Amino acid sequence: MKRHLKFIKRPPNKLFFLTGHSKIDWVMGLVLLSLLVGCMPSLAEDQAITEHTITVYAASSLTDAFSEIAMAFEAQNPETAVLLNFAGSSQLAAQLHEGMVGEVFASANPAQMAAVIDSGRVTPGSETVFVSNQLTIIVPVDNPAAINAFEDLANPNVDLILAGEGVPVRSYTAKIIATMPPHFQDQFYRNLVSEEDNVRRVAAKIALGEADAGIVYTTDITPDIASKVQQIQIPADQNFATAYTIAPLNDAPHPELAAHFIDFVNNAEGQSILAKFGFNPPSEN
């Protein structure tokens, strides 16, 4: 972002006489001014920073992995800075629809990528699946509602937290619930006490013990909450792999940097970082 310096004009023909303390104040002012000017980047430096900065809009479940990917990318490209904007994919899609500027969009499901394509910000066919994930149940470490299986989520008096409608993890959850008997579906949604705007908020609230259970991605069980929650696996015949997609924005200010970043995500180093945080290769979709 370019910084704009505001210059204040002194009234014309006004003389300043420096006597006593005023002379000392004037000298001290010059010293402070010189220090401030020395700390300010030059206009050329400021322009260079702007010209080598890319903005990446990424699903909140990618927070840890993409933070490390950005650092690795910057290490290999020291003149480039990566700005990361993390939120629920539906929120990011809405921001891009409203015209927010950037280079790359990484969505937790193809549906939100399709919405951005429909808005004209991504060229059809430019998106790729770069990684996959799976859903899981988490409960507070003391498991107060004695949740031991997926079916227990519909037990009476279970407080359940989910991501809000439109967030990819909620869409995936709805597909699983739709395969269950009607009475299970009714009680499951009756147990819902809170809907969050992204999946990381669900994980955080369960870790704090604010509800009995939540549904998140396996990668959301991060080191900072791992000791505060228990994981309850969703049976393989009910669960499925989720596809994450990535694409350059077609009006990106720096399309060459966008392409370079996406290549990095898809190459061996980027995929290794993603695997470190529990993501699966796209071939497992």
Using CA atoms, how far apart are residues 231 and 46, in angstroms rounded to an integer?
47
B/e letters for 3-15, b = 16+ CB within 10 Å, e = fewer, are eeeeeeeeeeeee
- Select from 153, 173, 172, 163 the least CA-distant residue to 195: 163
- Sign, CA torsion 84/90/93/98: negative
Longest dimension (CA), the chain: 89
Residues above pLDDT 70, as percent of the chain: 81
Mean pLDDT of 24-44: 47
pLDDT tens, position by position, 35-83: 444 554 444 444 444 568 999 999 999 999 999 999 999 999 999 999 9
Residues above pLDDT 90, as percent of the chain: 78
Mean pLDDT of 17-37: 45
pLDDT tens, position by position, 146-171: 999 999 999 999 999 999 999 999 99
Q: Which two tokens stand for residue 60?
A: 């909140």
- Residue 15: the pLDDT is 32
* Owner of token pair 């370019």: 2
- Residue 37: the pLDDT is 47
* Structural Rg of the chain based on CA atoms: 25
- Alpha carbon of 191 to those of 10, 156, 280: distances in Å? 67, 8, 31
Taken in order of first residue, the domains within the chain and their CATH numbers are: 47-132+243-284 (3.40.190.10), 135-232 (3.40.190.10)
Instruction: Give the full edge-to-edge strand order of the sheet including 229-232.
Output: 192-196, 160-163, 213-217, 135-140, 229-232
pLDDT over 70 at 12, yes or no: no
More confident residue, 47 or 266: 266
Using CA atoms, how far apart are residues 211 and 193, in angstroms rounded to an integer?
8
Q: Which two tokens stand for residue 120?
A: 């004209």
Q: What residue type is assigned to position 61 of the chain?
A: S
DSSP 85: E
- Select from 59, 52, 82, 55 the least CA-distant residue to 69: 82
Per-residue confidence band for 241, with pLDDT thresholds at 50, 70 and 90: confident
Q: Which two tokens stand for residue 190?
A: 């009756």
Per-residue confidence band for 262, with pLDDT thresholds at 50, 70 and 90: very high
